[in-house]
């Protein structure tokens, strides 16, 4: 298997009620049957099965991400106990490099939490949607009150005490890119992972004939590339490396495995946006090995095929090696499963073209030598309209099954 990371849902509840959250507000209500916190029994099973997985597949690196809900709702004692148990695993796998992250909404961060992060070398990431206005449009508490003021304090304290601030930001096209960018500069952040909102073909809120997300990203890219004191933006750096032949693109999600608070083994949780119970596999860390996820139709597609099992339109697209069809959740519809192009197809083409054209202007000799021509957005869009979206071979349809059954 090709994953090197576990997302541990140590808390299944949250102190915020973000309107776009795929965990709670996009139709999947299975969290209500989850225990509020991960038990010590499940932690023991996670560590034991992780050890077996690493040994079987001879992994040299592995990471754990504490997640939720809101992971800071769990007690500090939970983390202390987890890390003490982990040390026993580390002693048996001395050749393996381990990393720890935590993704939090930032509201509860204080000096005691930061001391814990330092003690156990946990790298925190905070969810912030840019300006106070943009953030408080969606990231509100259960009484509807915005959370920006508390989060700003958390980020500021983190920057002061750990000298690094990593942010996850869901793109909000209602706010201007310059204002969002300036807001993060004011925060003195080091890294912002801008996230395209997770929608499927069944709930996509934008006009498919327009490129609202791409236009926003293009404007942000131009601001960012001209700033000599820019912070890191992975979606831009990934494309730049791609066009300069320095590395792979970063338009897709990384393949990670999710362990819920009750031990259920699932694929990435953004797929909860596809519908109630969609990510449920019937597998549990207490009774199954991590790699058993490959024996489910969704797991097989997510871990092995989502970059190759594409609809015909994507397979015929000249940009498929760059975008790989986009994120899996963005391809889904109840009618055809994952047998669709991304809902953001036009946006991806437009954005990729802009970055490629920029670098052709910057390095004309390099691209002339390789006979690389500027991407013509209209030409590609018109070409894609001529291609039947459906998959041509009957056998390939099996991987697009919407039923997450055990094979």
Sheet containing strand 122-127, edge to edge, reads: 191-195, 166-170, 122-127, 97-104, 61-67, 5-9, 257-259, 265-266
Distance of alpha carbon 340 from its chain centroid, rounded?
Answer: 20
According to DSSP, the β-strands at 265-266 and 257-259 are: antiparallel
Place of tokens 């912002």: 192
Q: How far apart are CA 363 and CA 49, in angstroms?
A: 49
Residues 6+ apart with CB under 8 A from 361: none
Lowest mean pLDDT segment, chosen from 62-71, 106-115, 210-219, 374-383? 374-383
DSSP string, 297-356: HHHHIIIIITTTS--HHHHT-TTHHHHTTS-SGGG-BTTTBT-S--TTHHHHHHHHHHHH
Q: What is the pLDDT of residue 346?
A: 95
C-alpha closest to that of 329 among 318, 338, 339: 338
User: In this structure, are residues 352 and 375 in contact, taking their beta carbons and an 8 Å threshold?
Assistant: yes
Place of tokens 């031990």: 263
C-alpha closest to that of 110 among 138, 76, 80, 84: 76
Can you give the pTM of this predicted structure? Answer: 0.90
User: In this structure, are residues 125 and 104 in contact, taking their beta carbons and an 8 Å threshold?
Assistant: yes
Q: What mean pLDDT is predicted for residues 308-314?
A: 87
232 backbone dihedrals φ, ψ, rounded to 5°: -80, 135
Tokens encoding 374: 């500027």
Q: How far apart are CA 290 and CA 283, in angstroms?
A: 9
CA distances from 283 to 8, 49, 243, 295 (A): 15, 13, 40, 10
Residues 6+ apart with CB under 8 A from 242: 248, 249, 322
Residues 6+ apart with CB under 8 A from 186: none
Q: How far apart are CA 98 and CA 119, in angstroms?
A: 15
Place of tokens 């259920």: 264
DSSP string, 35-46: -SB--HHHHHHH
Place of tokens 């300006």: 131
What percent of the chain has pLDDT above 90?
66
Higher pLDDT, 372 or 63: 63
**Domains of the chain as residue ranges with CATH:** 5-273 (3.20.20.70)
Could you read off the pLDDT of 183-194 as tens digits, one per residue?
A: 999 999 999 999
Q: Does the structure show a pLDDT above 90 at 252?
A: no
Could you read off the pLDDT of 329-381 as tens digits, one per residue?
A: 999 999 999 999 999 999 999 999 999 999 888 878 766 777 778 899 999 99
102 backbone dihedrals φ, ψ, rounded to 5°: -145, 135
């Amino acid at each position: 298997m090709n994953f090197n990371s576990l997302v541990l849902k140590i808390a299944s509840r949250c102190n915020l009620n973000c309107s776009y959250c795929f965990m709670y507000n996009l139709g999947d209500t299975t969290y209500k049957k989850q225990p509020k916190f991960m038990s010590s029994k499940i932690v023991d099973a996670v560590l034991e099965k992780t050890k077996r997985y690493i040994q079987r597949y001879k992994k040299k690196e592995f990471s754990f991400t504490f997640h939720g809900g809101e992971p800071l709702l769990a007690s500090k004692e939970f983390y202390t106990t987890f890390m003490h148990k982990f040390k026993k695993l580390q002693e048996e796998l001395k050749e393996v490099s381990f990393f720890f992250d935590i993704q939090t909404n930032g509201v509860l961060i204080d000096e005691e939490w930061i001391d814990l992060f330092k003690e156990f070398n946990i790298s925190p990431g905070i969810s912030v949607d840019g300006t106070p206005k943009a953030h408080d449009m969606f990231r509100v508490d259960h009484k509807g009150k915005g959370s920006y003021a508390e989060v700003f304090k958390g980020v500021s304290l983190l920057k002061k005490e750990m000298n690094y601030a990593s942010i996850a930001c869901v793109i909000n096209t209602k706010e201007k890119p310059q204002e969002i960018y300036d807001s993060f500069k004011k925060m003195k952040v080091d890294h912002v992972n801008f996230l395209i909102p997770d929608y499927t073909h069944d709930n996509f809120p934008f006009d498919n004939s327009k490129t609202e997300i791409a236009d926003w990203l293009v404007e942000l890219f131009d601001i960012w590339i001209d700033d000599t004191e820019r912070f890191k933006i992975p979606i831009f750096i990934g494309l730049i490396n791609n066009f300069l032949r320095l590395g792979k693109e970063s338009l897709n999600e990384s393949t990670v495995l999710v362990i819920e608070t009750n031990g259920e083994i699932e694929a990435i949780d953004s797929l909860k946006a596809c519908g109630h119970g969609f990510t449920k596999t019937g597998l549990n860390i207490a009774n199954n090995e991590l790699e058993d996820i490959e024996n489910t139709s969704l797991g097989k597609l997510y871990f092995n095929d989502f970059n190759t099992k594409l609809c015909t339109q994507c397979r015929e697209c000249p940009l498929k090696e760059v975008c790989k069809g986009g994120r899996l959740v963005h391809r889904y519809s109840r009618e055809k499963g994952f047998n669709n192009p991304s809902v953001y197809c036009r946006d991806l083409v437009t954005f990729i073209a802009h970055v490629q054209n920029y670098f052709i202007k910057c390095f004309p000799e390099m691209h002339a030598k390789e006979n690389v021509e500027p991407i013509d957005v209209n030409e590609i869009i018109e070409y894609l309209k001529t291609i039947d979206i459906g998959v041509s071979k009957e056998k390939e349809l099996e991987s697009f099954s919407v039923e997450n059954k055990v094979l």
